[in-house]
């Protein structure tokens, strides 16, 4: 049996060769490649090369069908601005296919139009039989004196529907799964790296008796700027996946393009969790942002931050904040993190970055809170400079900042508005600063160090760095490649390195959202936007222990109490630190009772979350009801989840697993727990189970593994935890 191979098939015949038969495609030729169970078929014809299908050879399931060009190149003629799109499918004067070491190579050249004839595109694929994967690199050699490569869209795949409730996994927030998208209007576009496109992989799969699917990973260790896109066409029951990459030096004639890292197509027999594990195993080996992890997790993150289990947020002068924060701390009896907004005299989202002077008594308030077991983390923005930064006047913007602001192609700065107003009623326009510039690096460092050294705060939250997608800055004075590329992440890496080496011991940096490419430089990520129906903990499955996660936005509305329990329960099983609450809302009796249970359970088992890793969440079988509440993320925002939320966290070196069950509904739920103990490293016929309910130990016994499948009743508004060991 051939498990990895390369067949050359001419016409409709079935003659096979060993791959040593490259050639120029004059008439149509079919190429079939197999990597383990993954098969891809291409057709070369006059002018182009087209993907015909991707198939799971074992279940004979089509995973992708013909339609989308394998790549599209967006070109611009620099002398007159003319735009052209070239695709892999047609128009080329010469195409060829041949074998390369461990795989094959396609080439497109001789585009029959003057200057475009200087383009050569080469797609090199390695066949990875053990993993049933095809690993790609794409190179565009641009010998044109007048045309520039603006963007390269690669890969593009028309994904086939594999079942009526087929699933799409995409990296918004923690990861999200939507079902049946082939049959309805569906569009996701993620700008990477950002909070809404936090990781570089996608998957389409079916579950059930014959699971199969396709994992597509952009294994780019630099985290370059790119866009991930899913778009359904219900009429043809396809979903087009495309990865749109802006080119470096996109306005310069003759710029080459090279895909960064590998583009991986891999057979997926599993679900979102298995896809996340594939990505994790790549990221921990290759990603430049993977931190150094020891037996206790991040040694460069102080223990107080790794252990912290609850957060509140509010803002204003010390006398406005301190009483409520201290009241919550006292009610909880555990350490609390406090995200302090509006501690500065300038208004919010206005006159940035002139954060000093502070409001009166800030440093004293910080000291008082931290002595009382509250870890203080003030807000600053790490990305914006107000274009009218002295009230309604341009104080320093034009004179000092403009040179270091990101620029559009016409030389104007990228400006953003967030609803804040100048004193004259005009909207505040904030410039996006370029992280490659010394001015911005120095300014952010000075603000952070002043807060930590002079004001004494344990943390500083630097807004937007891990939330907002890169700007395609075109300012040639900044010294970075223009437009796309990998310079944006590197600019911030340098900026943050300079802070981390200089900050006093025991301090932390955090940022908004969870763009993965900055994990190593932050101690914590704010998960406030993890608010979507269908979200799954793919990010925690990859980065649990590598960065601490905290800070869902808790909101109001008629179902706010249930929404609060749903969010807190989900945070617990996702491995997040619980919060951030308005301290006044959190101490209301109907809230505090449940929050206290969730936070106590997290605190009791905190080591699992910072020293361990996520394992596959247990599944409950039986009649598990669902709950639905308005999470008020943006207007009315209905979210439905199971009434009992489950999670699993492991300390693999100690062979211990923690299973969590949070019943967020107000009724008891009876169900069976479906466990694969081998997956948790437990192969014995009996296990020791230490159970706790609502943070209080309830039993410690040896259990025959069959008995774990007996029906269990989860009490209303309760949190059960099982610790299993051999």
Residue nearer to Zn ion on the CB measure, 475 or 512: 475
CA 485 to chain centre: 19
534: left (phi over 0), alpha (psi -120 to 50) or beta: left
Residue nearer to Zn ion on the CB measure, 366 or 496: 496
Residue nearer to Zn ion on the CB measure, 91 or 403: 403
Distance CA 21, CA 7 (A): 9
Residue nearer to Zn ion on the CB measure, 219 or 478: 478
Residue nearer to Zn ion on the CB measure, 157 or 473: 473
Residue nearer to Zn ion on the CB measure, 432 or 573: 432
Residue 625: how many other CB atoms lie within 10 Å: 11
Which residues make up the interface to Zn ion (CB under 5 A)?
Answer: 434, 473, 475, 478
Distance CA 250, CA 476 (A): 12
Residue nearer to Zn ion on the CB measure, 276 or 473: 473
Pair 449, 443: CB distance under 8 Å: no
Distance CA 645, CA 631 (A): 16
Residue that has been written with the tokens 């296919």 in this structure: 97
Pair 591, 561: CB distance under 8 Å: yes
What is the secondary structure of 151-175 as a DSSP string? EEEEEEEEEEP-STT-EEEE-STT-
- Closest distance of CB 434 from Zn ion, Å: 3
- Closest distance of CB 414 from Zn ion, Å: 10
Residue nearer to Zn ion on the CB measure, 174 or 435: 435
- Closest distance of CB 659 from Zn ion, Å: 48
Pair 101, 115: CB distance under 8 Å: no
- Closest distance of CB 475 from Zn ion, Å: 5
Distance CA 692, CA 722 (A): 7
- Closest distance of CB 148 from Zn ion, Å: 18
Distance CA 4, CA 242 (A): 26
Residue nearer to Zn ion on the CB measure, 405 or 466: 405
- Closest distance of CB 491 from Zn ion, Å: 8
List all residues 6 or more positions away from 725 whose beta carbon is below 8 Å from its beta carbon: 654, 655, 656, 657, 687, 688, 690
Residue nearer to Zn ion on the CB measure, 107 or 475: 475
Residue nearer to Zn ion on the CB measure, 271 or 475: 475
Residue nearer to Zn ion on the CB measure, 220 or 475: 475
Enter the DSSP assignment of 578: E
Enter the DSSP assignment of 28: -
- Closest distance of CB 473 from Zn ion, Å: 3
Pair 575, 605: CB distance under 8 Å: no
Pair 310, 337: CB distance under 8 Å: yes
List all residues 6 or more positions away from 337 whose beta carbon is below 8 Å from its beta carbon: 308, 310, 311, 312, 374, 375, 377, 459, 550, 577, 579, 580
- Closest distance of CB 495 from Zn ion, Å: 13
Residue nearer to Zn ion on the CB measure, 141 or 416: 416
How many Å is the Cα radius of gyration of the chain? 27
Nearest to 34 by CA among 42, 23, 44: 42
- Closest distance of CB 150 from Zn ion, Å: 18
CA 592 to chain centre: 31
Residue nearer to Zn ion on the CB measure, 219 or 383: 383
Enter the DSSP assignment of 547: B
Nearest to 215 by CA among 318, 133, 297: 133
Alpha-carbon distances of 678 from 279, 685, 704, 722, rounded to whole Å: 22, 11, 14, 16
- Closest distance of CB 512 from Zn ion, Å: 21
Distance CA 640, CA 572 (A): 17
Residue nearer to Zn ion on the CB measure, 339 or 478: 478
Tokens, residue 334: 């555990």
- Closest distance of CB 224 from Zn ion, Å: 15
- Closest distance of CB 480 from Zn ion, Å: 6
- Closest distance of CB 199 from Zn ion, Å: 25
Tokens, residue 305: 């931050």
- Closest distance of CB 99 from Zn ion, Å: 42
Distance CA 722, CA 712 (A): 12
Residue nearer to Zn ion on the CB measure, 133 or 404: 404
- Closest distance of CB 609 from Zn ion, Å: 37
H-state helical runs in 216-271 = none
- Closest distance of CB 496 from Zn ion, Å: 17
List all residues 6 or more positions away from 170 whose beta carbon is below 8 Å from its beta carbon: 176, 178, 188, 190, 202, 228, 230
């Amino acid at each position: 049996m051939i498990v990895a191979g390369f067949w050359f098939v001419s016409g409709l015949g079935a003659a096979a060769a060993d791959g040593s038969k490259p050639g120029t495609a004059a008439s149509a030729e079919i190429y079939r490649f197999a990597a383990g169970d993954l098969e891809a078929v291409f057709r070369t014809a006059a002018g182009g090369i087209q993907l015909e299908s991707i198939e799971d050879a074992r279940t004979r399931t089509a995973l992708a069908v013909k339609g989308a060009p394998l790549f599209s190149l967006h070109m611009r003629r620099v002398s007159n601005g003319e735009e052209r799109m070239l695709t892999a499918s047609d128009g080329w004067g010469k195409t060829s296919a041949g074998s390369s070491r461990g795989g094959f190579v396609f080439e497109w050249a001789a585009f029959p139009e003057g200057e475009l004839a200087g383009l050569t595109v080469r797609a090199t694929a390695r066949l990875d039989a053990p993993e049933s994967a095809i690993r790609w690199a794409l190179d565009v050699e641009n010998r044109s004196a007048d045309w520039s490569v603006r963007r390269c869209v690669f890969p593009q795949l028309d994904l086939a529907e594999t079942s009526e409730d087929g699933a799409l996994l995409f990296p918004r927030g923690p990861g999200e799964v939507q079902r049946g998208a082939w049959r309805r209007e569906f569009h996701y576009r993620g700008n990477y790296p950002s909070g809404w496109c936090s990781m570089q992989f996608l998957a389409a799969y079916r579950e059930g008796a014959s699971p199969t699917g396709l994992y597509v990973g952009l294994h780019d260790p630099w985290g370059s700027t790119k866009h991930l896109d899913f778009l359904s066409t219900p009429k043809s029951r396809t979903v087009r996946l495309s990865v749109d990459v802006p080119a470096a030096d996109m306005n310069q004639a003759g710029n080459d393009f090279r895909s960064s890292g590998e583009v991986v197509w891999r057979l997926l027999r599993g679900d979102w969790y298995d896809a996340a594990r594939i990505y994790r195993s790549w990221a921990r080996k290759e990603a430049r942002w993977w931190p150094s992890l020891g037996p206790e997790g991040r040694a460069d993150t102080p223990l107080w931050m790794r252990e912290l289990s609850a957060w509140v947020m509010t803002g204003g002068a010390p006398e406005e904040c301190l009483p409520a924060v201290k009241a919550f701390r006292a009610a909880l009896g555990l350490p609390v993190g406090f995200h302090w907004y509006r501690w500065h005299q300038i208004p919010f989202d206005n006159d940035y970055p002139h954060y000093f002077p502070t409001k009166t008594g800030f440093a004293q308030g910080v000291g008082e809170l931290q002595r009382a077991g509250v870890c203080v983390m003030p807000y600053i923005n790490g990305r914006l400079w107000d274009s009218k930064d002295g009230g309604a006047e341009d104080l320093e913007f034009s004179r000092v900042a403009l040179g270091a602001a990101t620029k559009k192609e016409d030389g104007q700065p990228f400006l953003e508005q967030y609803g804040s107003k100048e004193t004259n009623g005009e909207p505040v326009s904030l410039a996006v600063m370029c992280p490659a510039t010394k001015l911005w690096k120095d300014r952010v460092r000075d603000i952070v160090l002043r807060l930590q050294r002079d004001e004494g705060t344990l943390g500083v939250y630097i807004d937007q760095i891990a939330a907002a997608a890169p700007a395609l800055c075109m300012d040639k004075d900044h010294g970075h490649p223009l437009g796309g590329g990998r310079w944006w992440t590197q600019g911030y890496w340098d900026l943050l390195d300079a802070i981390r080496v200089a900050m006093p011991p025991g301090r932390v940096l955090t940022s908004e959202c969870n763009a993965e490419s900055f994990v190593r430089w932050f101690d914590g990520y704010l998960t406030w936007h993890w608010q979507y129906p269908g979200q799954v903990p793919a990010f925690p499955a990859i980065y649990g222990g590598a960065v601490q996660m905290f800070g869902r936005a808790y909101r109001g509305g008629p179902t706010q109490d249930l929404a609060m329990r749903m969010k807190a329960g989900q945070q617990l099983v996702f491995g997040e630190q619980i919060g951030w609450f308005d301290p006044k809302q959190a101490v209301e009796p109907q809230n505090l009772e449940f929050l206290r249970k969730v936070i106590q359970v997290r605190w009791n088992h905190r080591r699992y979350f910072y020293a361990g890793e996520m394992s596959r969440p247990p599944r409950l079988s039986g009649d598990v009801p669902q709950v639905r509440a308005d999470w008020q993320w943006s207007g009315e925002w209905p979210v439905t989840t199971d009434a009992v939320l489950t999670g699993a966290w492991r300390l693999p070196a100690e062979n211990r697993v923690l299973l969590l069950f949070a019943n967020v509904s107000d009724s008891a739920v009876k169900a069976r727990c479906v466990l694969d103990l081998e997956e948790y490293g437990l192969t014995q016929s009996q296990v020791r189970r230490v159970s706790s309910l609502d943070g209080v130990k309830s039993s410690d016994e040896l259990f025959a593994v069959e008995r774990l499948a007996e029906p269990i009743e989860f009490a209303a508004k309760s949190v059960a935890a099982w610790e299993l060991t051999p």
